[in-house]
Amino acid sequence: MNKNKNTDTNSNNNEPPENIVKEGQSLIDEKKFAEALSFINNHLTDYPKSITFNNFLGLLALSDNNFDDAKVYFDKAFEYGSDIKVYNNNLSIIYSTIGSNFFDNEDYKSALNNFLLAIKQGPLNPLINYINVHKCYRKLDDFEAAEMVLFDAVNIVPNSFIIYYHLFEMEMERGQYDKALNYANKSYELSSNFDDSFNKLPLLIKYSKLLRAFGLITESIKVYLKAYLIDPGSKLIATDITFLYLDINDFKSAYKYIQLAHDIDPDNRLINSLKYFIEYKLNNIDTITELSAIATNNPNYNLPYQYIAEIYFDKQEYMNSFLHYKKLGNSFYYHAIRTLLHLDDQDTLINYYDESLGFNHRNASINSIAATLLDIDINNSFLNEPLSFIYNSKSSVLFKDSLIDDVKEEIVNFFDDNDYVKDSNIDGLLNCSQTLGNFFLLGSNNIIDLKEIISKEIDKYFNSSQKPKCIFFNDWTDKYKVIGKFLKLDTESQISGVHHDEGWVTGIINLSSGDPIDISLSENILDNNIVNLPEKTISIDKGQMIFFPSSLCYKKKKSSHQDNNLIIFYVIPETVKSNFND
């Protein structure tokens, strides 16, 4: 509730003593409006021309949306000598309150008109009204006006982190992530000068998540830890920090924060599932019994089954792993078939095998291997001849050396050494390191040019030649996302059997000069000799790009060469959700 500084230049006898004013103000601040009204009316007979009491009554009328009565009381206060600035501020509050009511009822045009009137009155603190006008323009999809009104606000309150926070939110809404990051950086920098910690929490949390989306994991953790210091009782913050540490396989730190979350909410099923899974990863403790209990008590909750299946798979208990993946439904069909391929159990494999689930980006290779083992003839070239769907740009010059060099320099400068995951077992890397997140969120001209070239070639790929009828091609859309990682290949580097089960199309670009890099492609996602599968090796020169269905896996054999850099990207239709998306 607004506090009004009132002066009476005519007679101090018109104003109540300070202790009465403080008590009335306290009741209003505590939103004890009925008590406040009774208190003021009890004293009003003694001070009928009190500026303070009439302003108080105007504010109380506003709390009941009695705008006409509020105006009457404010007019009386002005008549009795209220300062013109206070009077105009009170009128501004009337328009602002009316605007808020319209906004809550989704009448954004009427809300906008009233917020603009509120600014016109010359409020003592205009920032909130500028922000409200900005929000209305955003709701009306007028982002240019929304941006301009906050630029006007910067001229009035140049060091407000709140202004840049709302610009950051707007650019996130528009999908302009590079601009969003710049505004978030500015807001974060300015917020360090303010002690109002809880107002900074939304900024810290959203800023951290944006940093994570770019792959700036170390900085994301630093920001989230500041949020945790502000609100150490938040299980959500502690759990999010846990996921960040899991991104970089730091199970020790992940366990610290999931334990803190567990102390806050010991009965939470997500927290307990994470806790027991991390205990297994960190100390090789068998936590299947504990995870099974969570699954039993939460019949429709799949996460414990997923973790149990992973643990059994690590322990090479493939039948138990299969049975738990099977409970997770078709979304884990790939994992279930993978476990069965490690067993000499043709009956179980043929009973679970589903030909229709093999015609998409995720399951094609695993289904083709299963069909080979089961001697099933699949009449589809996408499954029978997947290596024929590899695209090789060697015959055409797509990237100029200057663009490749500029892109490489920009990515190297953007990420710190701590932002790379080194020798990740998950991605089969040896003497390699890679970024997380999606560097294509960067909005520089170089990255945009690179992305446009990739998009044009992807369009050619899907539109050229005759394609077999299957989900992979039939469900492809004109709108898609490109998610990119940057790989550093040290001497003696090796990549073994990487399969992007999120992607529909996977691509590789060589950013370095020197000897070509040999990439082998095949369906052998198990990386063993379980079946005799054809393999194709492609030498990629600097600036050359290949891409292929993500159902294929790619490998790079261990070899001596100078340090090298690759871009690995995968592409998915916009209707498909990605962990590395915004």
Q: Is 125 exposed, middle or buried (0-12, 13-18, 19+ CB in 10 A)?
A: exposed
pLDDT at 144 over 50: yes
DSSP letter assigned to residue 426: T
Q: Report, as an integer, the average pLDDT of 168-195.
A: 91
Q: Residues 253-271: what's their mean pLDDT?
A: 97
Sign of torsion over alpha carbons 447, 210, 208, 269: negative
Give dist(CA 287, CA 272) in Å, integer. Answer: 11
582, pLDDT greater than 50: no
- Average pLDDT, integer, range 224-239: 94
pLDDT given at position 179: 93
Domain boundaries, the chain: 12-224, 235-388, 390-573
Fold for the domain defined by 390-573: Jelly Rolls (2.60.120)
> How far apart are the C-alpha atoms of 266 and 247, rounded to whole Å?
23
Residue 2 has pLDDT above 80, yes or no: no
Q: What percent of the chain has pLDDT over 70?
A: 91
Average pLDDT of span 311-330: 94
Does pLDDT of 469 surpass 80? no
Average pLDDT over residues 308-330: 94
pLDDT at 209: 94
Which residue type occupies 8?
D
What band does 233 get if pLDDT is binned at 50, 70 and 90? Answer: very high
Mean pLDDT of 541-552: 87
- Residue 420, pLDDT score: 86
- What are the pLDDT digits (tens) for 195-214? 667 688 999 999 999 999 99
Residue 397 has pLDDT above 60, yes or no: no
> What's the whole-number mean pLDDT along residues 526-533?
66
Determine the pLDDT at residue 467. 66
CATH of 12-224, one of 3.40.1410.10, 3.30.1490.190, 1.25.40.10, 1.10.375.10: 1.25.40.10
Mean pLDDT of the chain: 87
Residue whose C-alpha is closest to residue 489's, from 555, 410, 581, 442? 555
Residue 128 has pLDDT above 60, yes or no: yes
Confidence (pLDDT) at 465: 58
Q: Give me the mean pLDDT over the 490-502 stretch.
A: 78
Do 12-224 and 235-388 come out as alike in CATH topology?
yes
**What is the arithmetic mean of pLDDT over 45-68?**
91
Q: pLDDT at position 523, please?
A: 84
Tell me the C-alpha distance between 371 and 386, whole Å.
Answer: 14
Pick the residue with more confidence: 377 or 169?
169
Per-residue pLDDT, averaged over 18-38, amounts to 91
Contact 238, 258 (CB under 8 A): yes
360: three-class secondary structure by DSSP: coil
pLDDT at 278 over 80: yes
- Domain 235-388 indexed as CATH 1.25.40.10: yes
How many of the other CB atoms lie within 10 Å of CB of 121? 18
Helix or strand holding residue 177 (H, E): helix 177-191
- pLDDT of the residue at 11: 45
What b-and-e string marks burial along 93-111, b requiring 16 or more CB atoms within 10 Å of the CB? bbbbbbbbebbeeeebeeb
Mean pLDDT value of segment 125-136 = 94
pLDDT at 94: 93
Distance (Å, whole) CA 83 – CA 77: 9
Residue 274 banded pLDDT, cuts 50, 70, 90: very high
Region 81-88: what's the mean pLDDT? 91
Confidence grade of residue 277 (pLDDT, cut at 50, 70, 90): very high
Cα–Cα distance, 77 to 2 (Å, whole number)? 15
Which pLDDT value is given to residue 456?
86
Cβ proximity of 441 and 575 under 8 Å: no
Average pLDDT of the residues in 88-117: 95
